[in-house]
Amino acid sequence: MKLTPERHLSPQPPSVAARDVVQVPASAAAIAAADPGSGRPPNPSTLAGRLSALIGGPQAKINAVVVDAETRRPLYELRADRPATPASTTKLATSVAALAEVGPAHRITTRVVRGTGGGIVLVGGGDPTLTALPARPEADHPPYASLSDLARQTATALKASGLRKVRVDYDSSAYQGSPTAAGWKPNYLPDGEVAPVSALTVDEGRIAPMDPSRKARVSDPPAAAAGQFARLLSKNGLKASAGRRTVAQKGAAQLGAVQSPPLSALVEHLLTDSDNDVAEAMARQVAIKLGRPATFSDAAQAVRQVLARLGVAEGVSVNDGSGLSPRNRISPVALARIVSLAAGQDHPELRPVITGMPIAGFSGTLSPPRYTVASSQAGAGMVRAKTGTLAGVSTLAGLAYDADGRLLAFAFMAGDGKGPVDPGKLDQLAAAVATCGCG
């Protein structure tokens, strides 16, 4: 999806605007790079005057940077190299690493194979979008892998071999270690911010996936998935019961398989809606691709390893893929460099990072009421950015064309975790970047 300085960005969600791209994975890398614009970069002194007036002086608890997206030259800096809590802007680092290392066309497979003692094994590959819900043709994403479809495939194969009774064991060994990250608060799981991270989960482990008001998650996603699968097999004419945790034998005969949407679509979704479960899955896919154990620690190290290869690891230190950990630290200039890299000419595989970032005032986590008030309304449709929110922390990192048509990357990071913060202030700053005729 090409950003254009001449007009507002389309008020469609990015996943809709790029639907023809994400449904055909091979074309994901063909999305045009963002045009750096024909205008000259803004005068740093003039830009600083506009932003400083909004920030309120050096004592304000805001770290900030604006860079020219093409050259990555800083145009405004306020503690720009000082690492701060990134919250969900961590997802930018995760997404870039996943697209660069695993690739936009990669799909995550969930399988069923023959087990021992008359059992079968449901084998998770780490797809958190695996669903037991009916398909929704109106959904703004490619079809998710269907547990019901997998049950039909499996039932057909079992009946063909003469089996009518089966035990469903389950294998979630693709991931290792703790299901929660260092620093995660105890309320994250009961409040439904994220499910226990597992290689086998259905509908992100939601207890009531058809009711968006109920966010609670199951305590053991793999066991719950096996139970759901057994019930679906029963609907397909088998006598099925949930079994035990196991590890599938290498070379076991496959009875069925379903695949996630391409990674390009998963990245767009996780950025637009700030989906913590999908973000953690993307970090682990990087670890798996690099031959590391799929733990929180190894996934974080794998992400940084890929960022280092891309030349944007300086100033990045993370403990998870989603940004829920308050122990994460990323500097504003690191975020701006990551965004600039994704927008540039050299890495077309990273373009879903740009198409996935919410559009100010229109989509995802930047939907109204953000960018609907007078102080930031000028940025509506002109800013594309990833949000981040934790207790006492608010962040915003993304792209905007200024009034002279130059593409700029920015990162604004507010708060120290100890007091209230106003995300509206960051919207004002981004709007000021977008409306700056500061050449």
Active site residues: 88, 91, 274
> Which residues share a beta bridge with 393?
390
Cβ 402 vs Cβ 39: under 8 Å: yes
* 225-229-231 Cα angle (round to 5): 120
Tally of CA atoms within 13 A in the half-sphere of 247 that contains its CB: 5
Q: What secondary structure does DSSP assign to 296-321, as a single string?
A: HHHHHHHHHHHHHHHT--TTEE-SSS
Cβ-proximal residues to 162 (8 Å cutoff; 6+ apart), any chain: none
Cβ 331 vs Cβ 57: under 8 Å: no
Spatial distance between the Cα atoms of 174 and 154, rounded to a whole number of angstroms: 21
Tell me phi and psi for residue 68, to 5 degrees. -70, 120
Could you report how far apart the first and last alpha carbons of the chain are, in Å? Answer: 26
Amino acid at 67: V
Amino acid at 154: T
Question: Among candidates 262, 248, 235, 222, which has minimal Cα distance to 154?
Answer: 235
Side-by-side strand order, sheet with 254-259:
239-245, 165-171, 119-123, 109-114, 254-259
Spatial distance between the Cα atoms of 185 and 187, rounded to a whole number of angstroms: 5
Strand ranges for 246-378 from DSSP E: 254-259, 316-317, 329-330
Instruction: Using DSSP, state whether 264 is helix, strand or coil.
Output: helix
Q: Which helix (H) or strand (E) holds 177?
A: none
Spatial distance between the Cα atoms of 30 and 298, rounded to a whole number of angstroms: 31
Spatial distance between the Cα atoms of 355 and 255, rounded to a whole number of angstroms: 37
